[in-house]
Amino acid sequence: MASKKSPNPIDIHVGSRVRLRRMMLGMSQEKLGDALGITFQQIQKYEKGTNRVGASRLQNISTVLKVPVSFFFEDAPGGQGEDGGFAEAPRSYVVDFLSSSEGLALNKAFVRIEDPKIRRKVVDLVQALAAGADEEE
C-alpha cells in the first residue's frame, strides 16, 4: 500500500558523508553500529540514504566519528553555493576521490611520505600519468 519513494538527496548526502568519515578512520560498519547500539545493516541503510538519520543519532555518530555535525552537511545539495559569502567552492571531487577505495588507499599512503621532495615527485608522476591518459583519448 505504501509506495516506495526514492531517498531524499539530503539523506543520501548525509549518508555518504557518514561513509566517507567512517572509511577515513578505517572503521567497519559493524564497529560503528556497535558504538551506537545498532546493527551494521542499519548503518548500511543510513549510508545509502534509504533510512533517514535522526538528529540525536546524527549527534551520536558525530561523536563516535570525531567530527562536528556540520561535517555531514558540507557540500549538501541545495546549500549556500556561491551566495554563501565566504563559503568554499564545492569539493565534491574530493569526496568522490576519498569515497573510492583507490583514493582512500592513495591518500593514506601519501600522507605517510614525510619527505616533501618525494611527495612532489608523486604528484608529478600522477599528473604525468593523467596527461598520458588524456592523450590516449
d(CA 34, CA 37): 5
* Look-up of cell digits 549527534: 59
Residues of CATH 1.10.260.40 domain(s) within the chain?
Answer: 1-89
In 12-133, DSSP assigns E strands to none
Highest mean pLDDT among 5-19, 31-45, 86-100: 31-45
* Architecture of the CATH domain 1-89: Orthogonal Bundle (1.10)
pLDDT band at 60 (very low <50, low <70, confident <90, very high): very high
Full-model pTM: 0.65
What angle in degrees, to the nearest 10, is found between the helix axes of 55-64 and 29-36? 120
CA-nearest of 37, 20, 39 to 29 is 39
Whether the predicted pLDDT of 86 surpasses 70: no
What is the predicted pLDDT for the residue at 92? 62
Helices and strands: H and E segment counts in the chain: 7, 0
